[in-house]
Amino acid sequence: MEEFLNLLSRQVLHEQFKDNLIWSRNISGNYATKSFCHAVLMQNNVSSNVWKELWEGLAPHKVECFCWQLLKGRLAYWCCGFWNVKWVMHENPIICFQSWCELGSGLKNGKVWKMAFHAIDWSIWLSPSEMVFKGKMWNSEETFGLIKLRLAWWVKAKWPQLNLFVPDLIRDPRCGGMPGEAGMGGVLRTDKGSMLLIFSKSVGVTDSNAAELMALLEGFQIIAALIGQEQNISFESDSYNAATWVLNSQQVPWRLRSLVMKIERLKSKIGSWIVRKVPRSANTVADNLAKTGIRRQSDLMWVIGDDVVVDSTGDELAFLTRSVCC
């Protein structure tokens, strides 16, 4: 057995990545009791999915416990009668919760919709305490703003890889990092702005980080096949994560390593290159190509002119890649 373990220890799957154990049910690759409980719940064959929906990990633990007490009818509102105050609640809160989740199941960002149920209940529950113990007055607009703010913070905590700002989430609480239909597009142009090549294609159902890496991988593949080492290339992406991972493969999450490893193999087949982070507004053509790629039935690649002409003067070519998830 010892000889067998020594033999295994000498084998290296990839020289740039250290071999280690991965807990595949967690996006970080590390074991967590939360992901274990989620896996057990997914395998629990019960007649109702209401508790699976509730304990999905979309809100802080104390908020999920509160909502569990709410659906069970275990909230401490029995004492309201001492002050002739009545607690107003749906006759069957479980049906109310199921209806909310059923409505969200048909939405593209259904998990954010489910998360909103927790944010609404928790914010309304805290409002009377603020009024009684801190002397605040009821303000429906302020409460609505707090609901959106809590929802935005929870989205950012749940999907930190999105690299989004909370004010942006409040204005448009969509979660681009969640799986959805995605498309990608790109434009190869000279330093004078002349377009040499465009591409647009669908990448199926994936998250935004994977889609951005796929777009960069497509760019590397095109350059390696058509130009090779004859030209300096600047790859431009609006994704900070994708640009960082291509420049430093050690930082890439384990689930995306296969994409980065493919890019690593292509780096030696092209000339001098660099990856830059640019704003999405820097090239609307590539952005539109990515958007149209979502519903595209067949891939589009158009070499403008008879061929990609490489200028031997050494001027840099720019390859702008984009991806869009819906």
Per-10-residue mean pLDDT, the chain, length 326: 80 73 81 75 63 85 89 79 76 86 77 89 86 81 84 81 48 49 88 83 87 91 80 86 89 87 89 84 80 87 61 58 67
Amino acid 172 reads: D
215-246 in b/e form (b: 16+ CB < 10 A) is bbbbbbebbbebbeeebbbbbbbbbebbbebb
DSSP 256: G
CA count, 13 A, side-chain hemisphere, 171: 5
- pLDDT for position 226: 80
CB atoms within 10 A of CB 297: 5
- pLDDT for position 48: 62
Give Cα separations from 317 to 191, 229, 232, 235, 311 (angstroms): 6, 12, 6, 9, 9
Q: Which residues contact 139 (CB under 8 A, 6 or more apart)?
A: none
Q: Which residues contact 264 (CB under 8 A, 6 or more apart)?
A: 16, 249
- pLDDT for position 51: 82
Q: Which residues contact 280 (CB under 8 A, 6 or more apart)?
A: 238, 287, 322
Length of the chain equals 326
- pLDDT for position 83: 74
Query: For 41, phi and psi rounded to 5 degrees?
Result: -65, -35
Amino acid 274 reads: I
- pLDDT for position 325: 61
Domain boundaries, the chain: 46-171, 180-325
- pLDDT for position 311: 42
CATH of domain 180-325: 3.30.420.10
Give the residue among 31, 289, 44, 304 at the shortest CA–CA distance from 189. Answer: 304
